[in-house]
A and B are shown apart, each in its own frame.
Chain A
Amino acid sequence: MARFILRSIISTIVTMLLVSIALFVLIEVGSGDITVKILGVFATPEQRASYRAQLGLDAPVWQRYIDWLIGNDWRAKRKVGYPLVTATNPQTGEKDWYADVDGQLTRWKMEEGRLITLKRQEDGSVTSHLSSGAWKINEEGNEYFWGVDTKNNTVMWMRGEGAEVWALTKAGLRKEGDGPQKYIPLRKGLLRGDPGISLQYGRPVAVTLIPRIRNTLVLAGVAFAVIMPLALFLGILAGINEGKPLDRFISITSLGATATPEFVTGIFLILIFGIWLKWLPAVALFTSADAIFENPKLLALPVLTLTAVELGYIARMTRASMVEVMESDYIRTAIIKGMPKTRIILKHAIRNALMAPITIIMLHVNWLVGGLVVVEVIFGYPGLGYYIYKSAIFGDFNAIEAAAMVTVAIAIITRLLGDLAYTLLNPRIRYS
């Protein structure tokens, strides 16, 4: 059994790694020029190049993948020469990067060719003064300096050669002098909980993602809690009544429900409950991220939609497994031993019948997640699925990568749990 579990865990890790590479390559390489989306189609090639450099997109793919996965502060640290740390910005509540210069949190900026040191005080305020003697000299005799700028990048300035950069402000692109030559946008990396900045919102992805994940877990959790017992019960009921009208009814209904796309089901439910019966609001307005906790009624239609779609599949799997078990030789043995029917079903059949579906159900969780995307879009539910959808439409790669990795992680972890449940149910594996 130890072997089986170890194998599952190793396979899970390898899978996650493969997925992350595939995802990264697909999006970063495949999605073309993100600057078109952000800067608009009228930006000049020069503006685009400048902005790409600011995003760190001029680095090679493998470098960006590593940065994305495990961060780049450790790499930037070697350039700067001081430890790089984060501190909370009292205004936004988000983390800012600083160099830790002998216990003093420090950043730099360039103004009119001069390097200015910005020192963060205990209360969050900043004192600035001219920095001197910080320049180093490279092989060509140019003076350069690696430091942390005010936009959370590790950058390299050249003395007297302030680059012209295009900065994106609320008012649009603005040309600035005194710009750095090189950018390393600082991040801790996905594995350390920092998937980067959302290009769409300009805020760290992690900050917006967490309440979304919570909302989705609530929705999925409630749906799962409704679906599982009901589906297993219906499946077993159909399985032991194989071929009878009850079985026909359950089978055909669940086939129909499973084969109907989520958005069709969702629309019909809105029509029925929202417009014709007027039991529930037809258009749910999620005024804030916490709306579902204030008004749990909003959950009703999304959960119902998910249930309609997922219930059938699991019920059908369970039914098929139950039918197979009921035809097996050991059930025949139990009948020939004169066991009462209820005992046969409860003691002999159910455990074996649940073994196959449980792994498949756990595999099926990523269907549930897929369904979530559609359901959240239909109902405007502020969850992970809606977030992925929005990010995908925008091309917000940091956001979509992070969110997709979360869904993949959920899928893979549930699969692992399914494997574990299978080993516990199946003595052949448990005792080997």
Chain B
Amino acid sequence: MKAKTKKKSRLQKFWDSVSLILASRVATVGSIMVLFWLVLAFISLFWTPYDYNASDFLQNLGPNPQNWLGTDHLGRDIFSRLMKGTQVVLLKTRLPGEGNIIIPGGVAIWGVIGSMALGVTMGLNAGYRGGWWDQVIMQILDALIAFPRIVLYLVVIAALGQGDLVVILAISITGAPGVARLARSLAMDIKTRDYIRAAETRGESVWYIMFKEILPNASGPLLVDGMLRVGYAIFAIGTLGFLGIGLPPPDPDWGNMVNEARRNIFSNQLAVIWPALAIATLVIGLNLFADGLREEMTRYQK
């Protein structure tokens, strides 16, 4: 009986969030764009039209019945490469070392998880504890924020070399200050609430208050922010790929596809356009989704 009501409430919760998304036209459009790529990513795990790395066709073909999006300068099927390219971003991370160990969750996802973990911990400590904690943490964040993002990526990669983990680290470090600032301002707001006083008068530990009393109430804005950050991360991965220092082969990388095709821009313009569009639609989709959701949530609060 009890289990049933719980199950029902979970279903209810799911429907609530779905209807929240559907209530906003912006969020609906965004989620469709994101879902499109997610579905392609899952399909690519089992099937792509052709081998993504094999030069099976003539070079620089336009779209045709065999190659829906045409072929690139090496005669590879662009659609297969686009499909395969979703995996490292969204679905899998390749660990360094022997044996090609792969863990689930794309580089963009882990990067954002990393920056959230780092940022939330710093932000909650700064915001809730205040005083010296706040001063020191904010000073560190200020220093991190002062780095232009791409310069920081370049520095990290210049220092540590290429690789999935390095990209995750770079995304985590560059994302953390933004998350921390948000978490800090939320914590500073929430800590003035009486229920925090109540917890303090119960003698709860600082960590309990930060993670059990404050965090659950800050999770809404943080999740929306995280969603936006997945967009930024894909943006960053694309940029790094474009600069030739992104995710290493053999998996195709959208940014790198743009970069390679750019050199042949006079002979084959479509080869540039497809991966560029792919990145743009995925990032815009995530942005629209997060934006619509945020708007709907604040309206809900009002």
Q: Residues of A with Cβ closer than 8 Å to B?
A: 11, 14-16, 18-19, 22-23, 26-27, 29-32, 252, 255-256, 258-264, 267-268, 270-271, 275, 282, 363, 366-367, 369-374, 377-378, 385, 388-389, 391-393, 395, 400, 404, 407-408, 411-412, 415
Contacts and interface: CB of A to CB of B under 8 A. Distances in A.
Contacts of A412: 146
A391 B156 CA distance: 13
B226 interface: no
14 contacts: A11-B142, A22-B143, A23-B155, A27-B158, A30-B160, A261-B238, A261-B279, A271-B272, A367-B149, A371-B150, A377-B243, A404-B147, A408-B151, A411-B146
Interface of B: 26, 139-140, 142-143, 145-151, 154-161, 231, 235, 238-239, 242-245, 255, 258-259, 262, 265-266, 269, 272-273, 276-277, 279-280, 283-284, 286-288, 291
A16 to B, nearest CB: 8
A267 B272 contact: yes
Closest 10 CB pairs of A and B: A30-B159, A369-B148, A392-B154, A370-B150, A18-B143, A370-B148, A392-B158, A259-B287, A366-B148, A264-B276
Nearest to B135: A11
A170 B266 CA distance: 38
Given A282-B266, A373-B151, A395-B158, 14 more contacts: A19-B143, A19-B146, A27-B158, A27-B159, A261-B238, A263-B255, A264-B258, A268-B273, A366-B148, A367-B148, A367-B149, A370-B149, A371-B150, A408-B148
A32 B159 CA distance: 7
Contacts of A404: 147, 151, 155
Given A393-B245, A404-B147, A261 B280 contact: yes
Nearest to A363: B145
Contact of B287 (A32, A255, A388, A400): A255
Contacts of A263: 238-239, 242, 255, 258-259, 276
Contacts of B276: 263-264, 267-268
B171 to A, nearest CB: 14
B148 to A, nearest CB: 4
Contacts of B149: 366-367, 370
A256 B30 CA distance: 11
B158 A15 contact: no
Nearest to B285: A259
A393 B155 CA distance: 10
A393 to B, nearest CB: 7
Nearest to B231: A259
Contacts of A23: 155
Contacts of A389: 154, 243
Nearest to A410: B148
A18 B140 contact: yes
A22 B266 CA distance: 43
A282 B263 CA distance: 12
B298 to A, nearest CB: 11
Given A15-B139, A15-B143, A263-B255, A388 B151 contact: yes
Nearest to B280: A260
Contact of A407 (B139, B151, B239, B269): B151
A27 to B, nearest CB: 5
Contacts of A14: 139
A411 B243 CA distance: 22
A260 B288 CA distance: 12
A321 to B, nearest CB: 15
Given A15-B139, A271-B265, A259 B284 contact: yes
Given A18-B143, A407-B151, A259 B262 contact: no
A374 B243 contact: yes
B146 A256 contact: no
A264 B239 CA distance: 9
B245 A264 contact: no
Contacts of B258: 263-264, 267
Contacts of B140: 18
A259 B143 CA distance: 25
A31 B145 contact: no
Contacts of B242: 261, 263, 374, 377
Nearest to B142: A15
Contact of A252 (B26, B142, B150, B243): B26
Contacts of A385: 150
A264 B140 CA distance: 33
A408 B147 contact: yes
B143 A282 contact: no
A27 B155 contact: yes
Contact of B145 (A252, A264, A366, A373): A366
Contact of B148 (A268, A271, A411): A411
A398 B85 CA distance: 36
A373 B158 CA distance: 15
Contacts of A260: 279-280, 283-284
Contacts of B160: 30
Contacts of B154: 373, 388-389, 392, 400
Nearest to A395: B158
Contacts of B142: 11, 15
A100 B276 CA distance: 60
Contacts of B269: 271, 275
Contacts of B238: 261, 263-264
Nearest to A391: B158
A31 B147 CA distance: 18
A269 to B, nearest CB: 11
Contacts of B244: 393
B151 A369 contact: yes
B287 A267 contact: no
Nearest to A14: B139
Contacts of B266: 275, 282
